Structures are given as structure tokens and as C-alpha cells.
Amino acid sequence: MPDEPLLREKAREAIRAGTLPSQRPDGTLGGPGFGGACALCGERLRPNQMELAAEFESCDATPGRRNSYHFHPRCYAAWEFERTQGDGHR
């Protein structure tokens, strides 16, 4: 897994590009990895690893539908930092 400065750089770029949201999630859940790819680093979220899911209310016509982004805890922390305090926030 990449180190923190690289993760923060990836998060900054993803926020600027619009591939990761810059707003606060409506909810966050944690649990074992589901086997898919991390929204930030792209590495697999393995069942023996912890994952965090940032959930957002959908803007589409389906009430109650949520959009989720799944992260490794370190990747979530890098995204959260850049979302709230990084260059894209200033």
C-alpha cells in the first residue's frame, strides 16, 4: 500500500478530478473488506482487512438510494484530510 504522502496526493487529484467527492459523507460504515477495489488506491479490500464505506445520498430520482465509496482505513484518512484541509479545500 502506498505511503501517506502518496495517498494524500492521490486523494487531492481524485477530488479535483471529481472521481471522489469533496463533501462530507451522509454516513460512514466499517467492517471487513468486501473484496472490491479501494476507491482511492485501487487495491483489493480483503475480507481479513478493515474497510470503511463513505455513503452519500443519491441525487437521482430513486429516493433512499445511496452512493458508497469503499476505502482502506489509511486511504479513508488521506481522503478525509484532503477533503477538509487539503489544497482543494482552501
pLDDT in tens, the chain (90 residues): 568 899 999 999 999 999 999 999 999 999 999 999 999 999 999 999 999 999 988 665 455 556 899 999 999 999 999 999 865 444
Three cell numbers written together for 4: 501517506
What pLDDT is stored for residue 90 in this prediction? 41
The pTM score is 0.84
Three cell numbers written together for 59: 441525487
Question: Distance between CA 90 and CA 75 in Å, rounded?
Answer: 21
21: nearest Cα among 88, 86, 83, 89: 83
- Tell me which residue has cell 504522502: 5
Eight-class DSSP state of 89? G
